[in-house]
């Protein structure tokens, strides 16, 4: 029976060799599969994160105005997997109307290519805020005005030269502030008493169509009325006046 052992040993060695070969093949296949999976995962990462869309200004507030802005000018695209490749970006909506206050959501889609020529895309949403930050501008004649007691010429409306919104222009004068205003307005209030000597104030209050406000005060000083001194007449003037009066009386007779 010992004579049969050599072929059994050879068979065992052959089995071991085949087992090692199969294990090596499986290992190589598994390794290559891992490499392919990692490559595919890297391509996915590059397609999503390698193509970066970011706003040029971290502040997403846009100033209220009269113009429309091209949405694509508010972002930049960076291809980190292939920095020399050209990139394009589209936006929806393509234009932002800054004449309307509120939030505007813009969806950006960027395209570029990797080093191997494969096209990659990425999308990003940003919400911009159109905001009116500028208050109305009130221009007055003087900060302080002297008015004679009982003067018939005092006019509070004449104190104000102009009231304007930097974007929308002139604001109208109203007697009472409206509950809602789509155009803006300004009011004039005062405690001036022309009968009583003293210091008073006139307040100009302006509100634009988006709720920004501005105020300006004017001091009104009611002062004692000044009387003009009577004009003194010389003797020669008096004599001439009497002569003219006598002549007129004789002519009338």
Domain for residue 247, yes or no? Answer: no
Q: What is the pLDDT of residues 194-208, one digit of tens each?
A: 999 999 999 999 999
CA distance 112 to 122: 9
Domain for residue 153, yes or no? Answer: yes
User: Do residues 128 and 106 lie in contact, with contact meaning Cβ atoms separated by under 8 Å?
Assistant: yes
Range of the domain at 215: 137-223
Domain for residue 240, yes or no? Answer: no
pLDDT greater than 70 at residue 246: no
pLDDT greater than 80 at residue 192: yes
Give per-residue burial for 51-81: e unless 16+ CB within 10 Å, then b.
Answer: bbbeeeeeeeebebeeeebebbebbebebeb
Q: What is the pLDDT of residues 3-60, one digit of tens each?
A: 556 766 777 777 778 777 777 787 887 777 877 766 665 555 544 568 999 999 999 9
Q: Which of 94, 113, 131 is the last residue of a domain?
A: 131
Number of domains, the chain: 2
Q: Which of 115, 131, 147 is the last residue of a domain?
A: 131
Identify the pLDDT of residue 60.
96
Domain for residue 166, yes or no? Answer: yes
Domain for residue 181, yes or no? Answer: yes
Domain for residue 229, yes or no? Answer: no
Identify the pLDDT of residue 238.
45
């Amino acid at each position: 029976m010992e004579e049969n052992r050599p072929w059994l040993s050879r068979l065992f060695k052959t089995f071991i060799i085949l087992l090692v070969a199969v294990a090596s093949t499986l290992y190589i296949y598994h390794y290559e599969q891992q490499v392919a999976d990692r490559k595919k995962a890297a391509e996915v990462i590059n397609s999503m994160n390698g193509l970066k869309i970011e706003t040029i200004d971290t502040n997403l507030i846009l100033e209220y105005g009269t113009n429309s802005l091209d949405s694509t000018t508010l972002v930049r695209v960076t291809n980190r997997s292939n920095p020399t490749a050209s990139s394009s970006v589209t936006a929806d909506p393509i234009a932002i109307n800054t004449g309307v206050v509120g939030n505007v959501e813009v969806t950006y889609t960027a395209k570029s290519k990797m080093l191997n020529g494969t096209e990659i895309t990425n999308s990003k949403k940003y919400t911009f805020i159109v905001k009116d930050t500028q208050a109305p501008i009130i221009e007055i004649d003087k900060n302080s005005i002297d008015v004679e007691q009982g003067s018939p010429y005092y006019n509070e409306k004449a104190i104000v030269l102009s009231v304007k919104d930097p974007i929308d222009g002139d604001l109208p004068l109203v007697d009472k502030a409206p509950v809602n205003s789509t155009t803006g307005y300004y009011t004039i209030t005062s405690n001036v008493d022309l009968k009583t000597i003293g210091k008073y104030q006139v307040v100009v209050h302006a509100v634009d169509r988006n709720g920004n406000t501005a105020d300006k005060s004017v001091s009104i000083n009611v002062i004692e009325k000044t009387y003009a001194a009577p004009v003194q007449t010389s003797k020669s003037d008096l004599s001439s006046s009497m002569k003219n009066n006598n002549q007129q009386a004789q002519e009338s007779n």
